């Protein structure tokens, strides 16, 4: 019966019909393992934000777990060959939003330094957005934002190509902000108590038997005063201070890298604009 499937061409010679292209089974990108890990990171982040105002230990545990999963989703993507553009963007957006939310909280509990935290949020968002945009518009098709040529920036090339360097800088950056967050619940130097002692042992001060319940002082439990009162002297400050001091130099280096990334992305986009103007000028001259 196989001969009946043959066709006859104009020279009466038998030929076989062209084979149909093999189609891969349709897959659901949203259910890839690394993307599922990404969704779990989002859930953990939201949970950490819920506990952030008054429960430092629970919040820090959830926040840190979410960040550690950031390394796991990359490993899963490479192991299962499930690297996708959606996963890359989901990962970056989650990182930027998570850090920004923590910095917003720090700006509220340390109002004197709020302009610094606002500046760090702006630098982080601007540098990554411009770098991603420059990569998509100026780079080759399908190029990742982590593929930075040495000719463009040796610093960014080392930062993105070496996974140990990348993880260390990002992890220590987050640890510094977590250390500051914990100090908001423990350090009288950075977060002084609402009720200051006047030298009289019987005077009102947070943490002493003479201090009344917060509900007596603040009618609304969600007011700024009530929240600060509830956070005061909640835990020991030794561990948070050590964490903040050790991670500070690397955090500062991370901010310098963000600034370099912002400048290099701007220069790359400007070079593309200049090239485009030259091409249009040549076409107009012809």
Q: Do residues 146 and 159 make contact, with C-beta atoms less than 8 angstroms apart? A: no
Greater pLDDT, 23 or 264: 264
**Of 69 and 286, more confident:** 69
Q: How far apart are CA 78 and CA 96, in angstroms?
A: 22
One of 70, 73, 91, 95 is an active-site residue; which one?
Answer: 95
Does 7 fall in a domain? no
- The range of the structural domain enclosing residue 252 comes to 29-192+221-275
pLDDT of residue 23: 59
What is the reported pLDDT for 177? 98
Residue 101 pLDDT > 60, yes or no? yes
**pLDDT, the chain, mean:** 83
User: What local confidence, expressed as pLDDT, does residue 204 receive?
Assistant: 45
Q: Structure tokens of 263?
A: 């400048």
Domain membership of residue 283 (yes or no) is no
Task: Average the pLDDT over 112-129 and give the result.
Answer: 96
Q: Please, are residues 254 and 170 in contact by the beta-carbon 8 Å criterion?
A: yes
pLDDT at 176 over 80: yes
Helix (H) / strand (E) containing 263: helix 238-285
Question: What pLDDT is attached to residue 228?
Answer: 81
Of the pLDDT bands very low, low, confident and very high (cuts 50, 70, 90), residue 232 is confident
pLDDT at 191: 62
| Residue 37: pLDDT over 60 | yes
pLDDT tops 90 at residue 226: no
In a domain, 109, yes or no: yes
Is the pLDDT confidence value at 180 over 70? yes
| 117 Cβ neighbours under 8 A, 6+ residues apart | 103, 104, 106, 107, 110
The CATH number that applies at residue 187 is: 1.20.120
- Whole-number Cα distances in Å, 123 to 54, 81, 264: 28, 33, 14
Percent of the chain with pLDDT over 70: 78
pLDDT tier at 201, thresholds 50, 70, 90: very low
236 catalytic? Reply is no
Instruction: Answer whether residue 16 is part of any domain.
Output: no
Distance in angstroms (rounded) separating the CA atoms of residues 195 and 177: 26
- Mode of pairing for the β-strands spanning 14-15 and 7-8: antiparallel
Establish if 135 belongs to a structural domain: yes
Over range 63-70, report the average pLDDT. Answer: 93
pLDDT > 90: percent of the chain: 51
Higher pLDDT, residue 100 or 227: 100
User: How many domains is the chain partitioned into structurally?
Assistant: 1
pLDDT at residue 44 tops 80:
yes
Q: Decide if 8 is inside a domain.
A: no
> Which pLDDT score is estimated for 235?
87
In a domain, 231, yes or no: yes
Asked if the structure places residue 153 within a domain, the reply is yes
- C-alpha 270/C-alpha 275 separation (Å) is 9
137: left (phi over 0), alpha (psi -120 to 50) or beta: alpha
């Amino acid at each position: 019966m196989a001969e009946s499937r043959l066709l006859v061409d104009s020279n009466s010679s038998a030929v076989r019909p062209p084979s149909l292209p093999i189609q891969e089974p349709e897959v659901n990108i949203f259910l890839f393992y690394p993307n599922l890990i990404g969704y779990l990171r989002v859930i953990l982040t939201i949970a950490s934000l819920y506990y952030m105002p008054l429960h430092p230990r629970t919040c820090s545990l959830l926040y840190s777990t979410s960040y550690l999963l950031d390394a796991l989703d990359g490993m899963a993507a490479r192991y299962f060959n499930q690297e996708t553009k959606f996963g890359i963007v989901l990962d970056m957006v989650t990182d930027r939003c998570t850090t920004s939310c923590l910095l917003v909280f720090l700006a509220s509990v340390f109002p004197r330094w709020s302009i610094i935290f606002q500046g760090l949020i702006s630098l982080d968002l601007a540098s990554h957005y411009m770098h991603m945009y420059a990569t998509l518009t100026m780079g080759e098709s399908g190029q990742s934002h982590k593929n930075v040529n040495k000719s463009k920036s040796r610093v960014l090339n080392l930062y993105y190509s070496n996974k140990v360097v990348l993880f260390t800088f990002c992890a220590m950056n987050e640890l510094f902000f977590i250390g500051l967050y914990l100090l908001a619940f423990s350090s009288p130097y950075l977060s002084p108590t609402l009720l200051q002692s006047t030298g009289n042992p019987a005077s009102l001060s947070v943490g002493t038997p003479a201090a009344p319940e917060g509900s007596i002082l603040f009618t609304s439990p969600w007011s700024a005063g009530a929240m600060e009162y509830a956070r005061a002297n909640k835990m020991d400050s030794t561990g948070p201070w050590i964490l903040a001091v050790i991670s500070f130099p690397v955090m500062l280096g991370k901010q310098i890298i963000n600034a370099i990334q912002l400048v290099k992305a701007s220069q790359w986009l400007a070079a593309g604009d200049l090239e485009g103007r030259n091409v249009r000028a040549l076409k107009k001259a012809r």
